[in-house]
Amino acid sequence: MSEGAVFKVKAGEKEIELDEHVLSVLQRYVKTEMTLEELAAELGLKDWEEAYEFVKNIPAWILWIQPTLWKTLKAMKSVKEEYVKPGKK
């Protein structure tokens, strides 16, 4: 079975893969008074500007999804891709 679907968000020159850790950091950013500098440090980004680009490029619904639900959705997409052959629905 494959590892799961990958969703990446561009931040400056980098592409960050969304996973449970990144989502939990994003939720702390949204729900608390975390600064862009702190967000950049947590995610290993260069500076607040790169963190701003990252947040700006994320679809809004992703900011509110629970990390465990994200993991489940990712696994379900992976299973669907594995069992549904191209050309069949």
Burial track 54-87 (b if 16+ CB lie within 10 A, e otherwise): bbeebeeeeeeeebeebeeebeeebeeeeeeeee
The reported pTM is: 0.71
Q: Could you state, in order of their start, the residue ranges of all structural domains in the chain?
A: 8-83
Chunked mean pLDDT (size 10), the chain, 89 residues: 67 87 92 95 94 93 82 71 56
Q: What is the pLDDT of residue 87?
A: 60
What gap in Å lies between CA 67 and CA 59, rounded to an integer?
A: 15
Q: What is the pLDDT of residue 82?
A: 55
Q: What is the pLDDT of residue 88?
A: 55
